[in-house]
Structure 1
Amino acid sequence: MIFRNVSMALRGIWMYRGRSFLALLGVAVAAFLVISMMSVLYNFNQSLLKQFSGLGAQQITVVPGKLMNKKAISSGLSDFSSFAPSASTLTYKDAMDVKKQVKGVDKAAPQNEVMGALVHEKKGYDMIFTGTTPDLPPVLDMQVAEGRFFTREELNRKKHVIVLGSNIKKNVFGDKPAVGKTVEVNREEFKIIGVLDEKKMFGFNIDDRVYAPYPVVEKVGKVDNASLLFFTAKKAENVPQVEKQINNVIGKNHGKKDFNLVKAEEAIHMIKTVLDLVGVITLAITSIAFLVGGIGIMNVMLLTVKERTREIGIRKAVGAGSWHILTQFLFEAVFLSVVGAMAGLAATYGAMYWIHRYFPILPNSIPLEMVQYTIVFSIGAGLLFGMIPALRAVRIPPIEALRYE
């Protein structure tokens, strides 16, 4: 009997295939919006967390500006506005003083930067001219693909040597070797000694940068202050103590608190807080699309019940029970909802592939839990929005149904 009801339900869907297709399409669009947007947020979240987690629990970053309410980082979004940005007063001396005076600091990498042009064979290429120290690669987990990074001796002697980001190397030299070549940066000659491996990071572009010793960029680019100071503690358990000591050293140099220290775990907390809020808003908005799709199924089923009133009367007259009628129409609604959700899921896989192709930093995976929730939700939506048409079909008196034209 179950198979007979299923067969009749499928036959009913096929009889009104145009109308059924439109209802199915509404659910497919809703499922596509929900799954794709939540998957993008999930992948964005995972990529950011992986990036910051990879920096290590020992990393401490000093940024310009002041966080007037220190509890803002742990209290949520409402206090983020208490951060007062300002022009950087951070210096190379701050970083070196910290490394000398704070025994718990292992690496110190100040960074200054200026927009510039790299000229090779009379062709110019825009890039970010960045000054730093040899400590930066281990701090940011940067790998050298060709050649080497500059040494402490080259830093102290202010040698005109540079290391190219992967995109700069591709744009300027293509597949040809770059190490050993001489180029011009801001009208000064530099020798290329290395090329960095490709590294994708949100909010920090490494591939389009050219790295040189800090004092060289300071002079050639006429940069007065550092944009950031990167430090790593020797031991993770000593980070709170090291943080206080860094704060004291730089605060003493400046005579006031015009900077802020950010640890990797604090950055992760802020990212989670923001993305959780965005996720809730996204889910609420996209769920409206599912609601519209479900209402579309209900309207189609109500119209179908009305047009098949005589068929329902004949079935009841020959012995079909209310349960048989109910399951038939419920199955039709669930079938449309589930097939629509599967179509939306398939479209999502295609969309994620193209998103990953144009934005390689975003993975193209769809969480298994998202697929499971979509299937369960589509079944529930089919049952919910199919119940009213199914009950209306059950309540049609057989005699009135047989008289219906």
Structure 2
Amino acid sequence: MMMRNLGMALRGIWMYRGRSFLALLGVAVAAFLVISLMSVLYNFNQTLLKQFSGLGAQQITVVPGKLMNKKAIDSSLSDFASFAPAASTLTYKDAMDVKQQVAGVDKAAPQNEVMGALVHEKKGYDMIFTGTTPDLPPLLDTRVAEGRFFTQQEVEQQKRVIVLGSNIKKNVFGDTPAIGKQVKVNGEQFKIIGVLGERKMFGFNIDDRVYAPYQVVAKIGKTDHASMLFFTARNTENVPQVEKQINHVIGKNHGKKDFNLVKAEDAVHVIKTVLNLAGIITLAITGIAFLVGGIGIMNVMLLTVKERTREIGIRKAVGARSWHILSQFLFESVFLSVVGAALGLAATYGAMYWIHHYFPILSNHIPLEMVTYTIVFSIGAGLLFGMIPALRAVRIPPIEALRYE
């Protein structure tokens, strides 16, 4: 009996295939929006969490500015409006003083940066010229793919040596070796001693940077202050104590608190808060899209019931029960909803591969639970929005139905 009802439902859909396709398309668009947007948010979330987890719980970053409300990180996102940005007063001396005076600090890397261009044999490439120390690669979980990074001695002697990001090496030198080549950066002569491995990070572009000893970049870029300072504690347990000591050392140098300390776990908290809010907004928007698609199915089914009134009357006259009529029209609405969701899912797979192709840092993974929720929701929507037309069909008196033209 179920197969017969399914067959009749498919024949009914085929009879009105034009309007059925439009109703199906509405559900497909809604399913596509739900799965694709939530999958992008999920992949974005996983990438960021993995990125910050890779930096380690021991990392502490010092940034310019001041957090007026010290409880902001532990409370709601709106409290971050109390962060007052400021021109940087951080210095190379701050980083070195912390490393020398705070026993719990393992590595310290100040960073300054200016925009510039690298030129080799009349071929140029725009880049971020970054000054730092040898502690930076392990701090950012970055490896040297070719050659080596500069030493602390080369930093102190202000040697004209540089390490290239992977994109710059690829675009300027291609497959030819870059180590040992002489290039010009912002008009100054430098020797290439290393190339970093590819490292995709949100909010921090390593691949399009050229790294040089801190003081060299400071002189060329005429920058007196660091954009930020990176530190790592020797172990996770003493991070709170190390934070207090860093605050004390830098605060003593500055004479005031015009900087703020940020830990990896604080960044993870902010990320989760922002993405949870984005997820709620996305679900609300796509829920409206599903509602519109469901209403489209209901309108199609109501029109179908009206046009097939005589058919319903004949079926009742030859012995069809009410639940036979009910199940036929529910089958039609659920079929439209599920097929629409399946088409939306197929389109999502295509969209995710396209996004991954142009933004490799984002995975093309679609969470299985998201697919399951969408299919279950589409079945529920088909039953819900098909119930009113199905009940209307059941309530049509057989005699009136047979007289209907």
TM-score of the superposed pair, with normalisation by structure 1: 0.99
2:48 alignment partner AA: L
> For residue 174 of structure 1, what is the aligned residue in structure 2?
174
> For residue 28 of structure 2, what is the aligned residue in structure 1?
28
Q: CA deviation at 1:359?
A: 0.6
Q: CA deviation at 1:123?
A: 2.9
> For residue 293 of structure 2, what is the aligned residue in structure 1?
293
1:372 alignment partner AA: T
> For residue 211 of structure 1, what is the aligned residue in structure 2?
211
Supply the distance in 2 between the matched residues of 1:235 and 1:124 (Cα, whole angstroms).
43
> For residue 348 of structure 1, what is the aligned residue in structure 2?
348
Supply the distance in 2 between the matched residues of 1:49 and 1:18 (Cα, whole angstroms).
46
2:296 alignment partner AA: G
Q: CA deviation at 1:360?
A: 0.7
Supply the distance in 1 between the matched residues of 2:2 and 2:96 (Cα, whole angstroms).
79
Supply the distance in 2 between the matched residues of 1:7 and 1:26 (Cα, whole angstroms).
23
The one-character-per-residue Cα deviations of 1:21-72 (angstroms, maximum 9, x if unpaired) are 1110010011101111111111111101110111000000000000000100
* 1:229-240 equivalences in 2 (<5 Å): 229-240=229-240
Supply the distance in 1 between the matched residues of 2:267 and 2:278 (Cα, whole angstroms).
17
> For residue 111 of structure 1, what is the aligned residue in structure 2?
111
Q: CA deviation at 1:76?
A: 1.3
Supply the distance in 1 between the matched residues of 2:319 and 2:124 (Cα, whole angstroms).
85
Supply the distance in 1 between the matched residues of 2:387 and 2:240 (Cα, whole angstroms).
59
The one-character-per-residue Cα deviations of 1:351-383 (angstroms, maximum 9, x if unpaired) are 000001001111111111100000000000000
Gaps of 5+ in 1: none
* 1:296-311 equivalences in 2 (<5 Å): 296-311=296-311
Residue 115 of structure 2 aligns to a residue whose secondary structure is strand
Supply the distance in 2 between the matched residues of 1:350 and 1:360 (Cα, whole angstroms).
15
Q: CA deviation at 1:74?
A: 0.9
Residue 94 of structure 1 aligns to a residue whose secondary structure is helix
> For residue 270 of structure 1, what is the aligned residue in structure 2?
270
2:397 alignment partner AA: P
Q: CA deviation at 1:125?
A: 1.8
* 1:153-192 equivalences in 2 (<5 Å): 153-192=153-192
Return 122-131 or 331-340, whichever deviates more: 122-131
Residue 69 of structure 1 aligns to a residue whose secondary structure is coil
Q: CA deviation at 1:221?
A: 1.6
Q: CA deviation at 1:350?
A: 0.1
Q: CA deviation at 1:396?
A: 0.3
Is 1:402 aligned with 2:387? no
Supply the distance in 2 between the matched residues of 1:397 and 1:80 (Cα, whole angstroms).
65
Supply the distance in 2 between the matched residues of 1:64 and 1:250 (Cα, whole angstroms).
12
The one-character-per-residue Cα deviations of 1:327-359 (angstroms, maximum 9, x if unpaired) are 110010000000000000000000000001001
Residue 138 of structure 2 aligns to a residue whose secondary structure is helix
> For residue 327 of structure 1, what is the aligned residue in structure 2?
327
2:235 alignment partner AA: K
1:387 alignment partner AA: M
Aligned residues: 405
Is 1:62 aligned with 2:66? no
Is 1:386 aligned with 2:396? no
> For residue 375 of structure 2, what is the aligned residue in structure 1?
375
Supply the distance in 1 between the matched residues of 2:129 and 2:2 (Cα, whole angstroms).
72
Supply the distance in 1 between the matched residues of 2:28 and 2:305 (Cα, whole angstroms).
23
Supply the distance in 1 between the matched residues of 2:125 and 2:332 (Cα, whole angstroms).
61
Return 22-31 or 148-157, whichever deviates more: 148-157
Q: CA deviation at 1:170?
A: 1.0
1:78 alignment partner AA: S
Supply the distance in 2 between the matched residues of 1:124 and 1:87 (Cα, whole angstroms).
31
Supply the distance in 2 between the matched residues of 1:78 and 1:207 (Cα, whole angstroms).
33
Return 119-128 or 56-65, whichever deviates more: 119-128
Identity of aligned residues (%): 86
Q: CA deviation at 1:78?
A: 1.7
Gaps of 5+ in 2: none
Return 333-342 or 185-194, whichever deviates more: 185-194
Q: CA deviation at 1:124?
A: 2.5
Supply the distance in 1 between the matched residues of 2:138 and 2:41 (Cα, whole angstroms).
29
* 1:64-83 equivalences in 2 (<5 Å): 64-83=64-83
Residue 216 of structure 1 aligns to a residue whose secondary structure is helix
Residue 338 of structure 2 aligns to a residue whose secondary structure is helix
Q: CA deviation at 1:122?
A: 2.4
1:327 alignment partner AA: S
Q: CA deviation at 1:101?
A: 0.4
> For residue 8 of structure 1, what is the aligned residue in structure 2?
8
1:227 alignment partner AA: S
Supply the distance in 1 between the matched residues of 2:265 and 2:76 (Cα, whole angstroms).
14
Instruction: Give the CA RMSD over aligned residues.
Output: 0.6
TM-score of the superposed pair, with normalisation by structure 2: 0.99
The one-character-per-residue Cα deviations of 1:192-225 (angstroms, maximum 9, x if unpaired) are 0000111110000000000001111111221110
**Greater than 6 Å deviation, 4+ residue runs:** none
